[in-house]
Amino acid sequence: MRSPPKILAFDVFGTVVDWHGSIVRELQRLAPQVDGDAFALAWREGYQPAMQRVRSGELGWTRIDDLHRLILEGLLPRFGLSHLSPAEREHLNRVWHRLDPWPDVLAGLSRLKARYLITPLSNGNIGLLAQMAKRAGLPWDCILSAEVFRAYKPDPATYLGVAQVFDVSPSKVMLCAAHHDDLQAAAACGLRTAYIERPLEFGAAHMKDVSPRPGNELHARDLMDLAGQLGA
């Protein structure tokens, strides 16, 4: 490896936490008759188009909590959940604050934290990320979010913002993510990249291809493997 990074910035949805499994479990409790797998996938499918409305300027700055709620309102009739009260809708929307980490995450982050400064770099809002970390015990050194930079990934302001916050060159920051497009955008800004395999991101019925691609500096099975590769 080149000279080691100082800051590890983590994508969160899919990389650190299992949004699909967590939403399926929530639906199972709330409405067992609903197809939780389809519901979770549909909610997440609305995510990029919703952020695009912000990126394009059609919507002013809007937090992910509010974008998730917008998408949810469209889903409820499709899944026979129109009877949910406003309070129930709000509680369901907050499931994104209650996502469970993948099994390797707490131990992996603890090892990495002993040697590096670890922070999320997520499109999730600060409050969402802080509540998620508190509930799950994610030991972040601080919480960086699109909300801090008022720009959504893959806007360069987010990747370069991490380096600026810590007053280091982009080459001292490594983005760790389960998504090649995120990593590619970070690399274009001069950040280092580590791909994390999350074959179950979309559920066991929709296995993801996690084979290595040449563009990434590191390729790790999970965060324990990453800690080993980074000498932590």
Number of residues near a copy of itself (by CB under 8 A): 21
Is 141 among the residues that bind a copy of itself (CB under 8 A)?
yes
* Sheet with 173-177: strands ordered across: 144-145, 117-122, 7-10, 173-177, 192-196, 218-220
- By beta-carbon proximity to a copy of itself, the closer residue of 38 and 168 is 168
Query: Per the structure block, which two tokens stand in for 52?
Result: 């695009």
Q: Which amino acid is at 11?
A: D
For residues 32, 36, 38, 40, the Cα torsion angle rounded to the nearest 10 degrees is: 150
Cα 190 from Cα 13, distance rounded (Å): 23
Q: Point out which span in 32-40, 139-147, 187-195, 206-214 binds a copy of itself (CB under 8 A).
A: 139-147
Number of other CB atoms surrounding residue 131 within 10 Å: 16
φ and ψ at residue 109, rounded to 5 degrees:
-65, -40
- By beta-carbon proximity to a copy of itself, the closer residue of 145 and 193 is 145
CB of 38 to a copy of itself, least distance (A): 29
Here's the x/- map for a copy of itself, 207-226, by CB under 8 A: it reads as --------------------
Is 127 among the residues that bind a copy of itself (CB under 8 A)?
yes
Q: Any idea which residue has 């990389």 for tokens?
A: 15
Is 117 among the residues that bind a copy of itself (CB under 8 A)?
yes
Is 119 among the residues that bind a copy of itself (CB under 8 A)?
yes
- By beta-carbon proximity to a copy of itself, the closer residue of 75 and 168 is 168
Cα 101 from Cα 1, distance rounded (Å): 28
Is 9 among the residues that bind a copy of itself (CB under 8 A)?
no
Is 1 among the residues that bind a copy of itself (CB under 8 A)?
no
Q: Which residues bind a copy of itself (CB under 8 A)?
A: 65, 117, 119, 125-127, 129-131, 133-134, 140-144, 147-148, 165-167
